[in-house]
Amino acid sequence: MASTSCEHVPDPIEALGRRLAAEQYFADEGLLTAAHLSLTLGRPLLLEGEPGVGKTEIAKVLARVHDRELIRLQCYEGLDAAQALYEWDHPKQLLAIRTCEAENRPVGELYDESFLMERPLLRALRVPCVLLIDEIDRADSEFEAFLLEFLSDFQITIPELGTIAAAERPIVIMTSNRTRELHDALKRRCLYHWIAFPDSSREKRIIESRVPGLPEDAAKTLVAAVAGVRDLDLIKPPGIAESIEWGQAAKVLLHEGADWPSALKRSLGLLVKEQEDTETVLAHAEGLGL
């Protein structure tokens, strides 16, 4: 165990850490505790943090670990309740009407299951799942109010069909990149955790796991460099995904005979993706060990 091996960490939390690590997800004690409590108390887990720190990924991994379906509601500006819950298939209803008219039959029921298009939140009430409500800060605040209601009752009423309640409560993970503040009421429903960038030992474990075959020295330089790069005042500091991709690219160049650390310097385009940021990093190359 990386940062979860401290003696005071209770067993179930350590066990969760091991199960996530087996899926190549390495969490620190704070995140593991938050996830454990959210699972045990049945409260939604609200995760905030910079892009690329593993907010979305932990929902995917938890779904695998719990052998549940992952249902993802990707939020965006203008997302409304209908798009999140269900919609009636109007073209199909029209076709049914036309067909009945053409065949001179009475038009049957148009608002039953066969015309219902299930969207993520409705599906989440019907199958055991991990419900990922991703990037909630992109949705409008009216949608947040609606979501609050959904998360309080875990049931919805479809006027034509009646009330549908969750057979089994979904495990709910909500993420936000904090482009705006969320409502207090929504936060109150959730267990909150801020995911920070990983410390060097955790990032090294991630790199070792996700870039197998990268020499130890290279991994060390990379991890130290990434930490240094994140301390620079960049437009877009690199996330864990960028750090992994940087490692993969450097590994390719190394295998093709490139020197170290020039392999890292040459594959910088996978770590930072703004020209200004590249210039800043290059200006600090020596201090970063590149």
Ligand X SMILES: Nc1ncnc2c1ncn2[C@@H]1O[C@H](COP(=O)(O)OP(=O)(O)O)[C@@H](O)[C@H]1O
Residue 124 partner contact from Mg ion, ligand X, none using kind-dependent CB cut-offs of 5 to 8 Å: none
Residue 26 partner contact from Mg ion, ligand X, none using kind-dependent CB cut-offs of 5 to 8 Å: ligand X
Decide if 55 contacts 195 (C-beta within 8 A): yes
The answer to whether residue 56 forms part of the interface with Mg ion (CB under 5 A) is yes
CB neighbourhood size of 57 (10 A): 18
| Residue (79 or 166) nearer to ligand X, CB | 79
| Residue (53 or 254) nearer to ligand X, CB | 53
The answer to whether residue 25 forms part of the interface with ligand X (CB under 6 A) is yes
| Residue (118 or 137) nearer to ligand X, CB | 137
The answer to whether residue 33 forms part of the interface with Mg ion (CB under 5 A) is no
Interface pattern 175-204 for ligand X (x via CB under 6 A): x-----------------------------
The answer to whether residue 245 forms part of the interface with ligand X (CB under 6 A) is no
Output the smallest distance, CB 30 to ligand X, in A.
12
| Residue (33 or 175) nearer to ligand X, CB | 175
C-alpha 187/C-alpha 79 separation (Å) is 20
Decide if 73 contacts 259 (C-beta within 8 A): no
Residue 57 partner contact from Mg ion, ligand X, none using kind-dependent CB cut-offs of 5 to 8 Å: ligand X
CB neighbourhood size of 58 (10 A): 27
Beta strand 116-118 pairing with 86-88: antiparallel
DSSP assignment string, 101-170: HHTT-----SSSGGGEEE-HHHHHHHS-EEEEEETGGGS-HHHHHHHHHHHHH-EEEETTTEEEE-SSPP
| Residue (48 or 203) nearer to Mg ion, CB | 48
Alpha-carbon radius of gyration of the chain: 24
CB neighbourhood size of 92 (10 A): 14
* 29-37, 53-61, 234-242, 253-261 -> range binding Mg ion (CB under 5 A): 53-61
Q: Is 49 helix (H, G, I), strand (E, B) or coil?
A: coil
Q: Is 86 helix (H, G, I), strand (E, B) or coil?
A: strand
- Tell me which residue has tokens 């993706």: 273
Output the smallest distance, CB 57 to Mg ion, in A.
8
The answer to whether residue 240 forms part of the interface with ligand X (CB under 6 A) is yes
**Residues of span 41-100 touching ligand X by CB under 6 A:** 49, 51-57
Site for ligand X, rule CB under 6 A:
24-27, 49, 51-57, 175, 206, 239-241, 244
Q: Which residues sit at the interface with Mg ion, rule CB under 5 A?
A: 56
